A and B are shown apart, each in its own frame.
Chain A
Amino acid sequence: MSEYLLEVKNLKTCFELFRGTVKAVDGVDFTLKTGEILGIVGESGGGKSVTGFSLLGLIDAPGRITGGEILFRGEDLLKKSEEEMRRIRGKEISMIFQDPMTSLNPLQTIGRQIDEMLALHTDLSSAGRRARILELLNEVGIPTPEDRLDCYPHQFSGGMRQRVVIAIALAANPRLIIADEPTTALDVTVQAQILKLMENLVKKFGSALILVTHDLAVVSEMTHRVVVMYCGKIVEEAPTAELIRAPRHPYTKGLLGSIPRITGVRTPRLPQIPGMAPHLFDLPKGCSFAPRCGYATERCREEVPAMRELSAGRRAACHNPVSTEKRTAGNG
């Protein structure tokens, strides 16, 4: 078996719509080791969530995975039947969704929804499952779990529901958890708690985590490595600390620049990346980011930049990567 838990190679997911084909994920490569936390960052519509759903084979028509490989523990998930995938979902790879208000079934008690996961993927007896449910609820910080088993989701706050969702995701002790914007729908104060909880539990259970988010602050606190996506492609990948300190792709630099800072020099206006992400129907000819990029040259508008290794563990798809020394006002 390879050293990686997950190896995604040249993954392509398309949506065949009335107006034409949209390449939501266009040739994405990344790897993940056991216990590692990977961040996937980008703007809305950048293909982050679709990447996450592709890993679980949960792309619905008109969407389709059109190419690539998803090697999970050495086996290609794309070659698995639906029945085989069903046994992997939840047990090997589980998912945490963006909005805890809508990801739980409103008509089932939370006890039953956790129980369903255990009944599907473990051999526990019903008493054993009950004990495990209480343990899980305790683990995710729900006080007096015995009294909460028979509650319905609407009797919980958003943060509490997300804790339940996390309990469900962890129930079968999966090797990989994909969290799709797990804190976006929550209050800021609750966000921090939930992230801390996820970080601790992932460590404790020894799972790997893919954190899909647009929030670089979240990424900088939790992840080991970051993949930045723009218009369905990976534009930069680096260890988190390095990426935050010295982004090489102008898009990453722009994302980092648009985070307001409390300390240091106050800029009169919060910098932002000019323009809007192009629609996936009509991507520009060369680099997708070129129209919004302060570093763009004629070459960027003509030729799609290939992914290049810049240094160990760092790569970027850019003709003119931001130099680590240069401090230009360009985009940032």
Chain B
Amino acid sequence: MLKYLLKRIFQMFVVLFVVSVIVFCVMSFTGDPVLMIVPPTATDAQIAEARIALGLDRPLWEQYSVFLGNLLRGDLGVSYMFKRPALTLIVERMPATLELVFLSILISLAVALPCGVFAGARPNSPLSRAIMGGSLLGISLPSFWVGILFIFYFAVEKGLLPSSGRGVTGLLFGVPFAFLTWDGFRHIILPAVTLALGTLAMLIRLIRAQIMEVMRQDFIRFARAKGVSWSSLLFSHALKNALVPVVTVFGLQVGSLIAFATVTETIFAWPGMGKLLVDSINTSDRPVIVAYLMIVAAMFVLINFIVDIVYTLIDPRVDLR
């Protein structure tokens, strides 16, 4: 186990190194941040001065080695716009994104598990067909459109829920979270549901397919021959066997939700990391973009690692080595 752990940690570093190279190269081809920073009236001399001050005059490999050196010390650079460390900016926004993602995941699981299991167990019932039709909509409809529709209906027409912002936040371990206050909770509902829809729909389809596959297996028939009840058959025999592929996809989905909550956060003006990313791209705030991508990459790697551990908890046949 320890050997496996060390191997995985080594792999994580390799992946993050490769990501850092790619991110750094791609970023240096996109736009000139110097022009965004200096005032429009700046002279050529002033622009050149700013370029030198930012270190952007040096060759790419040199810029990269400085970046890497700083990275290893935990320094991801200073935002051009905010004049504050990029890492701090992102970490400040992280709770907002994480609570949004966490709630979306809860919604997805709470809906997808029962719906998927039911649709898989009774594929021909009208309710299953309705679930499958609904999930197709959930997959096909783009979240920006659904989000706008939600705002139009629930916020503008009915005035039931607020359309933007995070509302009043409460403190937990000194970190502000919106879901702790009633006002904040009302603010989080629409973006969380919007964000959940795609994942939810995909999980329903995946769980259904897996349950249908498992229900054909011999051991299910054998369990029925033992006199096991229908619900126990589904939840204690079939579901666990259906879960391994579901966990894989679910892990990847959690990663993408964190990384790409961007669209939803922009629509609902949710002050999370995604919105910070979009703002930073608009202003060519390179250190923030690079730092954001590095952090997201690290999260992906970490989630995949957790998924692998979860496999072993589900399936005794999986051997990590």
Does B bind A? yes
Q: Which residues of B contact A165 (CB under 8 A)?
A: 222
Q: Are B229 and A58 closer than 8 Å at their CB atoms?
A: no
Q: Are B219 and A94 closer than 8 Å at their CB atoms?
A: no
- Give the docked Cα–Cα distance between A165 and B223 (Å): 11
- Give the docked Cα–Cα distance between A152 and B317 (Å): 8
> Residue on A with the closest CB to B219?
A105
- Give the docked Cα–Cα distance between A104 and B219 (Å): 5
Known contacts A97-B218, A99-B218; A107 and B314 CB within 8 A of each other = yes
Q: Are B218 and A94 closer than 8 Å at their CB atoms?
A: no
- Give the docked Cα–Cα distance between A94 and B224 (Å): 10
Classify the interface of chain B: helix, strand, loop or mixed.
helix
At the interface, yes or no: A89 with Cβ under 8 Å from chain B? yes
We find that the number of chain B residues with CB closer than 8 angstroms to chain A is: 20
List A90-138 residues whose CB lies under 8 Å from chain B: 90-91, 94-95, 97, 99, 102-108, 116-117, 120-121
Q: Are A94 and B315 closer than 8 Å at their CB atoms?
A: no
Q: Are B237 and A120 closer than 8 Å at their CB atoms?
A: no
List A55-102 residues whose CB lies under 8 Å from chain B: 56, 58, 61, 86-91, 94-95, 97, 99, 102
Q: Which residues of B contact A87 (CB under 8 A)?
A: 227
Q: Are B219 and A102 closer than 8 Å at their CB atoms?
A: yes
- Give the docked Cα–Cα distance between A90 and B226 (Å): 4
Partner pick for B226 among A61, A94, A102, CB 8 A cutoff: A94
- Give the docked Cα–Cα distance between A121 and B227 (Å): 8
Q: Which residues of A contact B226 (CB under 8 A)?
A: 89-90, 94, 116-117, 120, 168
Q: Which residues of A contact B223 (CB under 8 A)?
A: 105, 116
Partner pick for B219 among A89, A106, A117, A120, CB 8 A cutoff: A106
Partner pick for B229 among A86, A102, A152, CB 8 A cutoff: A86
Q: Are A106 and B222 closer than 8 Å at their CB atoms?
A: no
Q: How far is the CB of B240 from chain A (nearest CB, A)?
A: 5
- Give the docked Cα–Cα distance between A160 and B241 (Å): 22
- Give the docked Cα–Cα distance between A90 and B233 (Å): 14
At the interface, yes or no: B282 with Cβ under 8 Å from chain A? no
List B111-145 residues whose CB lies under 8 Å from chain A: 124
Known contacts A97-B222, A104-B219; A88 and B227 CB within 8 A of each other = yes
> Residue on A with the closest CB to B226?
A90
Q: Are B317 and A106 closer than 8 Å at their CB atoms?
A: yes
Q: Which residues of A contact B224 (CB under 8 A)?
A: 58, 89
> Residue on A with the closest CB to B215?
A60
- Give the docked Cα–Cα distance between A104 and B226 (Å): 11
At the interface, yes or no: B228 with Cβ under 8 Å from chain A? yes
Q: How far is the CB of A56 from chain B (nearest CB, A)?
A: 6
Q: Are B221 and A106 closer than 8 Å at their CB atoms?
A: no
- Give the docked Cα–Cα distance between A121 and B226 (Å): 9
Q: Which residues of A contact B241 (CB under 8 A)?
A: 105-107
> 4 closest A-B pairs (Cβ-Cβ)?
A90-B227, A89-B227, A102-B218, A95-B225
Apart from A94-B225, A103-B222, A152-B316, list 13 A-B contacts with CB within 8 A.
A58-B221, A87-B227, A89-B224, A91-B227, A94-B226, A95-B222, A97-B222, A97-B225, A103-B219, A117-B227, A121-B227, A154-B316, A168-B226
Could you list 28 A-B pairs, sorted by A, with CB under 8 Å?
A58-B221, A58-B225, A86-B227, A89-B224, A89-B226, A89-B227, A90-B226, A90-B227, A97-B218, A97-B221, A97-B222, A102-B217, A102-B218, A103-B218, A103-B219, A104-B219, A105-B223, A105-B237, A106-B315, A107-B240, A107-B241, A107-B315, A108-B237, A116-B223, A121-B227, A152-B316, A152-B317, A165-B222
